């Protein structure tokens, strides 16, 4: 007997990717339901070789559903996730609405799988921010080996992190530049075509942006609250795939060769690190892939026990949809949930 899975926000970039990955990975679902707002009702989305018609989530009864993959934004999640969880359906939420709630586990399966046991308090599990997910996959094995003291991150985040509107804006602006049309800016604060913008999400009182704060708070919650973290988040004119330049300072000695060996054995990591032209990964190669790629591993001579690494991953997959489905798989594989049909 398989599970019944509902996807809220099924028409968005991440929702569609969730449907693809559920099918690709053969998740044990007897029934998959595509849900969205009233304006998307009747839209068709693909699930493997099938087509699903999108229903209005407002009219849906979650009491017969086992897992809800929530990808409809923070406001929708704040309103609906507690209601859905109260009906006995486990919500795996992709927004920032629940990540910092002490009663909601924030999970990257390769990093802190055991923390999932706490989901029963609210029946909600949080998916981390896209840039944090790939970061902690790379940091966890290194932290276990040599204990991280401090991390400095500069992100190079693709426009798909801002949704379909962000991707459309990059495309339209790029075309406008080539044909000498006026460049219109709607989604981003400045032109994104042939430019970079050191501003993602809203500014906070201390001068950091909310995106930068998310990386700090989530890394501490999932990895170790004692680690000092600072971040600069930058939007770049790339369609899919976030990149990160990461400088790490450790308590204990670790060499670049040791780090390479550790990361080659680590779950979810793929090391591509040759000291030659093209011997590293870029976002173009990571799009559509599941791994967190790590390149440019080298020692930082300016601090004791320092390393620099380059981390790249598909933000729609490991940064969002894939991680959510890995969380669902974790629930199933550990026997933490059973199909409600079977229980009945």
Question: Could you tell me the two tokens for 93?
Answer: 């939420």
Selection from 3, 15, 11 nearest residue 54 by Cα: 11
Selection from 227, 14, 224 nearest residue 129 by Cα: 14
Q: What is the C-alpha separation between 184 and 187, in angstroms, rounded?
A: 9
List 68, 143, 231, 242, catalytic entry: 242
Pair 332, 228 in one domain: no
The verdict on whether 130 is a catalytic residue reads yes
Going by the annotation, the residues of the binding site for phosphate are 99
Among left, alpha and beta (phi > 0; psi -120 to 50; other), residue 93 is: beta
The verdict on whether 242 is a catalytic residue reads yes
Residue 206 lies in a domain: yes
Residue 184 lies in a domain: no
Under DSSP, is residue 286 helix (H, G, I), strand (E, B) or coil? helix
User: Taking a C-beta distance cutoff of 8 angstroms, is the pair 18, 322 a contact?
Assistant: no
Q: What CATH code is carried by the domain that includes residue 329?
A: 3.40.50.720
Going by the annotation, the residues of the binding site are 11-14, 39-40, 99, 157, 160-161, 182, 235, 315
How many independent structural domains does the chain possess?
2
Pair 268, 333 in one domain: no
List 68, 130, 231, 269, catalytic entry: 130
Q: What is the pLDDT of residues 59-117, one digit of tens each?
A: 999 999 999 999 999 999 999 999 999 999 999 999 999 999 999 999 999 999 999 99
The range of the structural domain enclosing residue 83 comes to 3-127+321-342
pTM for the structure as a whole: 0.95
Going by the annotation, the residues of the binding site for NADP(+) are 11-14, 39-40, 160-161, 182, 315
CA dist list (Å): 244 to 42, 80, 120, 130:
39, 33, 34, 11
Pair 325, 248 in one domain: no
Phi, psi dihedral angles at 52 (to 5 degrees): -110, 140
Q: What is the pLDDT of residues 28-54, one digit of tens each?
A: 999 999 999 999 999 999 999 999 999
């Amino acid at each position: 007997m398989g599970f019944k899975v509902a996807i809220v926000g099924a028409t968005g970039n991440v929702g569609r990717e969730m449907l693809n990955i559920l099918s690709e990975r053969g998740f044990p679902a007897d029934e998959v339901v595509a849900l969205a707002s009233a304006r998307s009702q009747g839209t068709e989305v693909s699930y493997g070789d099938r087509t699903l018609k999108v229903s209005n989530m407002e009219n849906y009864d979650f009491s017969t559903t086992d897992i809800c993959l929530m990808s409809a934004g923070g406001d929708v999640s704040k309103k609906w996730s507690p209601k859905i969880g109260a009906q006995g359906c486990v919500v795996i939420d992709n927004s920032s609405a629940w990540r910092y709630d002490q009663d909601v586990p924030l999970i990257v399966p390769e990093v802190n799988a055991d923390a999932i046991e706490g989901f029963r308090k609210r029946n909600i599990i949080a998916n981390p921010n896209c840039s944090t997910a790939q970061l902690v996959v790379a940091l966890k094995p290194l932290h276990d080996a040599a204990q991280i003291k401090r991390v400095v991150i500069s992100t190079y985040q693709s426009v798909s992190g801002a949704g379909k509107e962000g991707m459309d804006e990059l495309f339209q602006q790029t075309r406008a530049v080539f044909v000498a049309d006026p460049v219109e800016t709607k989604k981003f604060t400045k032109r994104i075509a042939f430019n970079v913008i050191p501003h993602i999400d809203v500014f906070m009182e201390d001068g950091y942006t909310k995106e930068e704060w998310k990386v700090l708070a989530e890394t501490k919650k999932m990895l170790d609250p004692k680690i000092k973290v600072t971040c600069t988040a930058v939007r770049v004119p790339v369609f899919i795939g976030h990149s990160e330049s990461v400088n790490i300072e450790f308590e204990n000695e670790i060499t670049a060769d040791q780090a390479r060996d550790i990361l080659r054995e680590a779950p979810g990591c793929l090391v591509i690190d040759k000291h030659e032209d093209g011997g590293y990964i870029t976002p173009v190669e990571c799009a559509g892939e599941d791994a967190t790629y790590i390149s440019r591993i080298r020692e930082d001579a300016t601090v004791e026990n320092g390393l620099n690494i380059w981390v790249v991953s598909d933000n729609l997959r490991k940064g969002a949809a894939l991680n959510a489905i890995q969380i669902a798989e974790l629930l199933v594989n550990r026997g933490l949930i059973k199909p409600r049909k079977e229980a009945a």
